[in-house]
Amino acid sequence: MDENQQPKITGPSNSRFRVNFREHSHQISFDRMTVIGDLNPRHIKEFQQFIATNPYVSVLDTKTDYVKARMYDDLFYLEYDKIKGQSRQRRNIRIEFNPNHCSEDARQFFVKHIVRLMNDVGFSRLDLALDIEKDLRSFYVASETRWKSTVFYGLDGKPETKYFGVRDSQRYIRLYDKKQERKDNANEEITAADLWRLEFELKRDMVNQWETIADDLIIKQPDWHSIADIRTRSFVYMLLHEQDQWGELSRPVKAKYKKIIRDMEGEDLTVFVQQVIKNEAPRLRQQLEDWTGNKLI
């Protein structure tokens, strides 16, 4: 078959996953944040006194112009390194935490005692998590970007966790059985029949693109059996299961097979995910500003 000829599909897709927020229960949130900034030179003494005397601070290590500590019942992990910041030309304070575990009192403590003392406040990492009460084990995440996909299986031999990309990349995607994860790690029984999480781990430049992070993706349970032409069917199967192969294709061929996957039969979550992020963006944007004391750059 001619490479540019569109393959024959057995029929139009009639199982597209429609954006129905009432029918499919979901929840989206930032599951982890890393706030960064520079300690204002005018507040160095205040910062040192806070670290040394505040009962909510547990110092792990300290030297001249260096502090490693946990704060507020271990909710926040802080590192301050003036020398490393100067040598690497990056901001010298970073604080890691899960905002979902923090009360309003914890947030106010953070803004009052840490953010207020910083300049150039921003984020170096955001984890955006979407929980959906639906079995997603047969879904795949595809992109024109070259990345690696890895699947881990449970004791029943069924997919339990899927990773798309590599851990040190700017965008790393996880799709996993949240219900099973809570049972294994916290002995927590979730009453929903199914609960899966789609999580975007965003770092560096991707942090500022969280509102459009799913715009270039296909998130789908593709029925590759529906493609009549065996050559095309085999090629699509490879791209779905060995996603690093996308990087071997030219741009026109990528576009061609991306359209094939988008148009083939099977439930499609793509628009649903994009719409959830769009609808919740004002609330999430406000949350980012709240955690940075409206000092977000």
- Looking at the structure of the chain, the number of domains it has is 2
- Do 188 and 56 lie in one domain? The reply is no
Find, among 164, 165, 141, 149, the residue nearest to 258 by Cα.
Answer: 141
pLDDT over threshold 90, residue 121? yes
pLDDT over threshold 60, residue 5? no
- Which of 125, 143, 168 is a domain's end point? 125
3: in domain: no
Write down the pLDDT at residue 10.
Answer: 35
pTM over 0.95: no
Percent of the chain exceeding pLDDT 70 equals: 90
113: in domain: yes
264: in domain: yes
Q: Which residue has the higher pLDDT, 12 or 293?
A: 293
- Do 104 and 198 lie in one domain? The reply is no
Write down the pLDDT at residue 145.
Answer: 72
What is the per-residue DSSP string for 104-146? HHHHHHHHHHTGGGEEEEEEEEEEEEEEESS--TT-EEEESS-
- CATH number for the domain including 88? 3.30.310
108: in domain: yes
The answer to whether residues 34 and 141 touch, using CB atoms and an 8 Å cutoff, is no
Find, among 208, 204, 171, the residue nearest to 297 by Cα.
Answer: 208
Q: What is the mean pLDDT of the chain?
A: 87
Rounded Cα gap, residues 227 and 261, in angstroms = 10
What is the per-residue DSSP string for 223-249? -GGGB--HHHHHHHHHHHH-GGGGGGS
Phi, psi of 201 (to 5 degrees): -95, 115
DSSP β-ladder status, 217-222 and 196-203: unpaired
| pLDDT band, very low/low/confident/very high, at 21 (cuts 50, 70, 90) | very low
- Do 226 and 84 lie in one domain? The reply is no
- Do 121 and 166 lie in one domain? The reply is no
Write down the pLDDT at residue 7.
Answer: 34
- Do 137 and 276 lie in one domain? The reply is yes
pLDDT over threshold 70, residue 3? no
220: in domain: yes
- Do 171 and 42 lie in one domain? The reply is no
Write down the pLDDT at residue 295.
Answer: 62
pLDDT over threshold 60, residue 24? no
- Residue length, the chain? 297
pLDDT over threshold 70, residue 95? yes
**189-245 tens-digit pLDDT:** 888 899 999 999 999 999 999 999 999 998 988 888 889 899 999 998 888 777 678
pLDDT over threshold 70, residue 4? no
Least confident of 35-39, 107-111, 155-159, 242-246: 242-246
* Domain coverage including residue 55: 32-125
**263-295 tens-digit pLDDT:** 888 888 999 999 999 999 999 999 999 999 876
What is the per-residue DSSP string for 180-220? HHHHHHH-----SS--EEEEEEEEGGGGGGGGGTTTTEEEE
- Region 1-25 average pLDDT: 41
- Do 102 and 157 lie in one domain? The reply is no
- Do 187 and 112 lie in one domain? The reply is no
